[in-house]
Amino acid sequence: MGKMDLLVVGELNIDLILNQIQGFPEMGSEKVAQKMDVVLGSSSAIFASNIATLGVDTAFCGKVGGDDFGHMVKETLKAKNVDTNFISTADQLQTGLTVVMNYDQDRANVTYCGAMEALTMEDIPWDRGGTFRHFHLSNYFLQKGIQKDITAIFKKAKAAGMTTSLDLQVDPDDQWNFDYEECLPFVDIFLPNEAELLALTGKGSVNEALEAVKPYTNTVALKMGMKGGLVCENGQVTEVKAFVNDQFVDAIGAGDSFNAGFISKFLEGADWEACLRHGNLMGAINTTAAGGTGAFNSLKAVKERAKSQFDQEI
């Protein structure tokens, strides 16, 4: 077997998305949503699905329950040409589910973790590590089974010859118990958004937060929403403006799509400016359709959206 581009390790769940909701939920009352979608969710899976659509050979390692949602997750990833051979099924558990309630450009989420918490370091196909060029892990805080081994995981990925990237995502407990001083030296590309970086470091500004992690990071690729994105490497900062979408649907998975665009260009050997521009564009394209993968049905569709809505050739 030849080398594959990418091994993604992470959580798997379904998103049940409610749009056009008539008010905020209240105890003892019922609100009506005018639109519902049931789609592939989870940061890791959205990243894997969309980067595979962009042409990157991708395999996924995760865990689902022995239920219809688990089957849907695997079949949806297979349809995007993601190798699902390393997705295991825990028959006694249920697949994770997130209920997403959208309100304009903000949202409220409720997640049932289920089988995603049962994934451990031992589930990762280390015997095949040498067949992958890059290792990516997303949503650390929702995956209780890997937390104690997070540094060992990245050490082992580096020892296997892979470049590495990490997107922590939000800590629902707001504790931010992640030893970045120990782990980040083994992460080639750290991919937080602005709010996550500030929460992780406890700093009041992006510059202070970047200074705090600087001694421990190789490269930080920071997502800043409508302000675009930046890369900080060895104290050198590269910034690229955002692409503005005037036909906004929702922002579910926009950060994961940024990651897909950024890492796909990184694997091509592009410079940081090109990685940022492609990441920003993929994040913007994500917001033109419902859910994290709705705008990424095919590479042709992505190219058409890039041209028609952002006047960009890819």
Residue labelled with tokens 């190798």:
83
Give, as one character, the DSSP assignment of residue 3.
P
Whether 205 has a pLDDT exceeding 60, the answer reads yes
- How much of the chain exceeds pLDDT 90, in percent? 86
Q: In whole numbers, what is the pLDDT of the chain averaged over residues?
A: 95
Between 240 and 104, the higher pLDDT residue = 240
Rounded CA gap, 231 and 220, in Å?
6
pLDDT band for position 42 (cuts 50, 70, 90):
very high
Please measure the distance between the N-terminal and C-terminal CA atoms of the chain and give it in whole angstroms: 29
Residue 38, pLDDT above cutoff 60: yes
Is the predicted pLDDT of residue 2 greater than 80, yes or no? no
State yes or no: pLDDT of 104 exceeds 70: yes
Please give the domain boundaries of the chain with CATH numbers for all domains. Answer: 4-310 (3.40.1190.20)
pTM across the whole model = 0.93
Nearest to 256 by CA among 267, 264, 247, 248: 264
Banded model confidence at residue 151, pLDDT cuts 50, 70, 90: very high
Which two three-digit tokens encode residue 44?
């890791």
Specify whether the CB–CB gap between 102 and 17 falls below 8 A: yes
**Amino acid found at 39:** V
pLDDT at 210: 97
- DSSP annotation of 242 reads P
What per-residue confidence (pLDDT) applies to 291?
A: 83
- Quote the tokens at residue 113: 């973790």
222, pLDDT greater than 70: yes
Q: Express as a percent the part of the chain with pLDDT over 70.
A: 99
Q: Does residue 6 contact residue 136 with C-beta atoms inside 8 Å?
A: yes
* 132 beta partners: 4
Instruction: Please write the tens of the pLDDT for every residue from 257-269.
Output: 999 999 999 999 9
Q: Among 164-168, 192-196, 276-280, 288-292, where is mean pLDDT lowest? A: 288-292
